[in-house]
Structure 1
């Protein structure tokens, strides 16, 4: 994987941060994207002895900022071999009749439109070369719907559909497209969903061993390191204790 460059959105925490570390350990140069510049700087300092790193500080919801960021890439980073569409979030856990419209906008703008903006910005140089690999980070919420998950599940179902659509449309260019759909991963996800209610967030993962960001980053690396003729199109990953979004064995 030497001399490859990967762009990772949402690289300042969770799965994105873990993937950056795993890629760096395996010699993949990095374009790290996120809203929190201070965290990106710390991550760059941690990894810069291993690979070349460039930072892009923008919010995927901001279409103009996305395209401006890509236009600003120095020549050494203009070739992007791997795109990890990782940025995403959940806001609230309310029934549809009590849902907050601002929460709905946040989830659709980041999880769906942000993914589209970044992909649109990256694709021209991939289609021109007829080479590239796109990994969309989905969720088990894109495979089923659970109580009060309504709009979050809808956004991740959209990611599932886009993953399939991208794979079909980009087939003629030889671009590999696949999705990793994790179940419960212990990250800042629940802290964001419950808007800083740490007790409620901690309770989500209490009583069983959830997936870790590193579990997912190792799987992502496995996927992108397969030979060119191999495309892992769609992968669902859950901890042993989790059978579905609502069935978790907290005695394991």
Structure 2
């Protein structure tokens, strides 16, 4: 069955890899993002089964106009992959910039809520669909400097569980994918604003790659309709949750 899949943040990383994988599986993809040149390049690469749409997920008016603003034969969305997100900074809470916190909330929380609210009514009306979000292990395991980023991902995890409760009895499924360390994307470059620091995060760590996230999404949406995967936590074999921290006083 060919699905019509709407992906946010498709210009790089997880979103781009997922678009490539799902087009390869024979589906149609609406690839959205802020960088039009990258969307056009992706469309040239993947052909007519990819529809590039310039969209900033923090633009509430533009998001609310979905799917009515799409071409008519692309309006019945089977799967939403709410992928757009970012982390900014890794300092302690009292040193971080409030504007960075607000941007993370707008993108990681608002960028999920807006597309879900815009596309979910059509899924419920058609009695079929799947909402997939990209959470993070940071939503479950705190770490120094993770403060607001981890908080936004914890929100996504809880929101999706509550969304599942709302959708009982419908044909709409919901899944939160929660990766640990993933290389091969712009995540750390954006977080640090420094390519050398970003590269150091993954050096000799054998992290997950965007293709691993795309593979997981392809598996989840391809399961029989009776199966709902509530959440998937995934890490590279080289990573684990940290032990509890203890700071001892000096005698």
- TM-score range with shorter-chain normalisation? over 0.9
8 Å CA contact 1:58, 1:69 repeated in 2: no
The answer to whether the aligner puts 1:9 opposite 2:14 as a matched pair is no
Which residue of 190, 193, 205 maps to 1:192?
190
Q: 1:246 Cα shift?
A: 8.2
Match of 1:56 in 2: 53
Aligned to 2:205: 208
C-alpha distance in structure 2 between counterparts of 1:231 and 1:167, whole Å: 9
Distance apart, 1:214 and its partner CA: 0.4
Structure 1 portions without partners, runs of 5+? 248-252
d(CA) in 2 for partners of 1:246, 1:131 = 42
Per-residue deviation, residues 24-72 of structure 1 (Å, max 9, x unmatched)? 0101101111000110111011111xx5222221110110121235321
Structure-2 change in CA distance of 1:234 and 1:160 (3 Å): same
**Are positions 1:70 and 2:67 aligned together?**
yes
What CA distance in whole angstroms lies between the structure 2 residues aligned with 1:67 and 1:36? Answer: 20
> Could you report, residue by residue, the CA deviation over 1:120-154 in whole angstroms, capped at 9, with x for unpaired residues?
11012101111101111100001111111100000
The residue that corresponds to 1:241 in the other structure is 238
Q: Could you tell me how far apart the structure 2 residues matched to 1:98 and 1:172 are?
A: 46
Is the contact made by 2:66 and 2:119 (CA closer than 8 Å) also made in structure 1? no
CA distance in 2, matches of 1:161, 1:245: 22
Q: How does 1:149-160 map to 2 (within 5 A)?
A: 149-160=146-157
Contact 1:131 1:174 in 2 (8 A): yes
TM-score by length of 2: 0.94
The CA deviation at 1:174 is: 2.2
Aligned counterpart, 2:249: none
SS of equivalent residue, structure 2 residue 111:
helix
SS at match of 1:229: coil
Structure 1 CA distance, aligned partners of 2:182 and 2:141?
A: 17
Moved over 4 A (4+): none
Q: Conserved in 2, the CA contact under 8 Å of 1:135 and 1:180?
A: yes
* Mapped contact 1:56–1:69 kept (Cα < 8 A): no
CA contact (8 A) 1:140 1:181 kept: yes
Structure 2: how far apart are the matches of 1:47 and 1:53? 6
- Output the TM-score relative to the length of structure 1: 0.93
How many positions carry a matched residue from both structures? Answer: 243
